[in-house]
Chains A and B, each alone.
Chain A
């Protein structure tokens, strides 16, 4: 098992290095000059040049790449050109919105999908199963930003139940904060729930069809006990995989939803930073996200070992 882990770690590091080169190169060829953007149309050429110098943009690319990378290794992610605060601070600011949002929508997704999926599997072929499958099929097809639009107009503007958008900051109270994350979390979570419920159902059906379950049933265990005791745990691998994927997606892939609800999250930070050509912010935040996704994948792998003892033995071999 340690061997497997070491190998995975090594590859993770290689992945990070390659990713950093790709991100850096991509942003090198993005047209547009950050200094020019910051100073606006009427700035004189010398003022732009002075700013470029003070931002260190006049240094050769290789030098900038190396100083960026060496900085990151010791935990210095650079300083935002536009906000002139450390990128790390911006990241912390934003992640306190994005992370709770991702967790909340993941929670909504799992809280709906797993019971529904189990229920459908347990009553396979029934009208309820067919109905659930049909609804989930529809749910997968709904783009989350369209759902978000509809939710804003129904819940926030017609019924005025929740704020239409914005984020008051956690200083305004946990409840207020959660309240403004609720609609975006639902808009993100429901389509995910549709996918997850189908995964849960089919994973469960697959395990229920396997020999040891039949054996357990033959040994006289009740249907319900079989389901809960054996089948569910063993069908968790695909479910955990999907949850891991969804989490990674939710953490960074919520740009559109963050725009609909004007939440100050990570996705929107990067989106804005790209249009302002705040390159260092884009580079560093994307790298942090890539690293996070790699770590999540590692954790998902670890979860396999925990869930399935057979894998543990195989890994040790």
Chain B
């Protein structure tokens, strides 16, 4: 095998838990994911049940985060909304990795005109103002979670393509790759066997960053009314609804905002920690 950079599993966990960023980020992310998972089987209140008479209640022991303008329990909505945020951002990342990494690897393996053309294709996507394009995409296909995923996912593609290409180009010059080429292995095989495994760490780290960004982007789209549609709760939409009621029901704006901040913070910390843990070479205090 190649001199793999990835450390063995047990080694990984012992080092990871010693890393402060990773530890805090991991805990936060785990809590958010658990909240989302639990919401499938249990929430304190039904989020589709409206109770107009009990609207706009401040946080209390009954409603931990208060109720919204329809009398729904905000804590329950945050739980179910976490599901939505995670799903949209995660699928968008998977689209980015699923298309971007093969494109980047292919460009690096073939080089020449193909490389140039693929990378220019990337530049074209980059040249579009992302949010405006998301607005256009949702105007064409109608608002909704699926279209939000597509809109965010498309802009993840060039990010991963560039990253993969850069990493692959660096790896192609390494001795063990040269050795494999001398041994007569084809480019595709080398890419699959050696290149991709060796850039996995990098992709995972970038993946967490894109995941965090995706959560903010999804919230932004939902905030302007183009994301997930009712009755399914979404953090961005909750913020939008809270806007006009901020002066008499501030909890409606503060709670979903904090949920976004904490989740994104957790993911970013996790990403930082992963970078340090997975690849000591990269840990020279990058952002």
Contact = CB atoms under 8 A, between A and B. Distances in A.
A255 interface: yes
Interface string A261-273: 0000001001100
Contacts of B272: 137
A117 to B, nearest CB: 10
Q: Which size bracket describes the interface of A in this complex?
A: 35 or more
Interface residues of B, number: 41
B224 A201 contact: no
Interface of A: 11, 14-15, 18-19, 22-23, 26-27, 29-31, 124, 137-138, 140-143, 145-146, 149-150, 153, 157, 195, 198-199, 201-202, 205-206, 209, 248-249, 251-253, 255-256, 259, 267, 270-271, 274-275, 282, 286, 289-290, 293-294, 297
Dominant secondary structure at the B interface: helix
B253 A202 contact: no
Nearest to B272: A137
Nearest to B140: A30
Given A18-B124, A199-B287, A149 B132 contact: no
Contact of A141 (B124, B128, B130, B268): B268
Contacts of A259: 224
B128 A290 contact: yes
Given A205-B285, A248-B129, A274 B268 contact: no
Dominant secondary structure at the A interface: helix
Given A15-B124, A30-B140, A140-B264, 5 more contacts: A141-B261, A146-B239, A150-B253, A271-B132, A271-B224
Contacts of A27: 136, 140
Contacts of B132: 252-253, 255, 267, 270-271, 286, 289
A248 B126 CA distance: 10
Contacts of B140: 26-27, 29-31
A270 B133 CA distance: 10
Given A137-B268, A141-B261, A271-B135, A15 B127 contact: yes
